[in-house]
Amino acid sequence: MTPDKVSCRFPILLWWFLICGGLAAQTQTVPFPGDTSAAAAEHNAPEAYFSPKNLRKFANYLFTSGDYSRATGEYLRYLNLTASPDPARIYLQMGRSQLRQKNLPRAGVYFRQGLKLLSPENVALNDSLRYGYALSYFDTPGTLDPDSLAEIVRFPSGVTSEIRLRSLYLLSLARLWQGDWEGAAAVPIEDRQNRENPFPRYLRENLDRLLQEGRNSPRKSPALGGFLSALVPGLGRAYSGNIGDGLYSLVVVGGSTWLAVEGFDQDGRSSIKGWVFGGLATFFYGGNLYGSVQAVRVHNQQQQQLFEDELQYEIDLVLHF
């Protein structure tokens, strides 16, 4: 074979090998209709990965992993991509995610939306949404209206589940926060005929303890504190628990009064010493009265804050449901 023929055939063979190689590559990567081979599964993998079913699984995984912010985003994405057969359950999960981040107002929005979309036949889901919605009311417990909360946890009679009892427990805490001891004690949180779902004993004990503390809280009368200090300077401060401040007031008022009396005894009504210390004694005496009243009020506020801290601790315990 001559060199000219070899040089002519070489480009033709190269072109042929390139075409065959391209066809082989296409044959390996493009699945035929109905093909169930690994190549077909690999081709369809991206679509399955982003399917609504997998989005929901991923959101549930984030929730159980404690990544509540991202879980809420994935649940929202799931709702936007598909017509969920049970949207109320998705809103329940979103509300629970927000509760665990202590974003109670946003949680309330999700629970309320879930209640709107809920099928009346789903009793268990209805109870869970109502319980979560009741929890969201504790964003600002100081302004919470127990009567509004009572409407949320007003369940049909006949079935008593643990979550219903827990909802009534929240109502008891709300009444305790408002200082309504009798109302808190009257909430029927314990169904003695319900043996399968009894009210948790530790919650019952906590409620009894808080009710006892609320009723017997060492709150004192500001008027009585002022009256005692009017009789004996500093006695009102001692009544509020500030014994050291009470002794200081007694020494200051008593000392300035004694110096004023001594000055008038020595120099009569024209005594400068008498008038100066008399004015100081009057000023200190007035401050003693005002300070005693305020000391009792501060004492009561501190006791109330301690009590509210205990209530808040109980609320935080039930945010994770």
In order of 3, 46, 66, 85, 111, the CA distances from 79 in angstroms are 72, 20, 21, 10, 15
Please tell me the predicted confidence (pLDDT) of residue 107.
Answer: 93
Confirm if 29 and 39 have CB atoms less than 8 A apart.
yes
Mean pLDDT is lowest, of 50-54, 237-241, 317-321, for: 317-321
Task: Give every CB contact of residue 160 below 8 A, 6+ residues apart in sequence.
Answer: 191, 194, 197
Task: Give every CB contact of residue 165 below 8 A, 6+ residues apart in sequence.
Answer: 189, 190, 191, 197, 199, 200
Please tell me the predicted confidence (pLDDT) of residue 198.
Answer: 60
Distance of CA 127 to the CA centre of its chain: 19
Predicted TM-score (pTM) of the model is: 0.67
pLDDT tens for 41-88 read 444 445 466 688 888 999 999 999 999 999 999 999 999 888 878 899
Instruction: Tell me which CATH homologous superfamily contains domain 50-136.
Output: Tetratricopeptide repeat domain (1.25.40.10)
Confirm if 166 and 203 have CB atoms less than 8 A apart.
yes
Cα–Cα distance measured from residue 131 to residue 61, given in angstroms and rounded to the nearest whole number: 23
pLDDT tens for 136-192 read 988 877 777 888 888 888 776 655 677 888 888 888 888 888 888 888 888 776 554
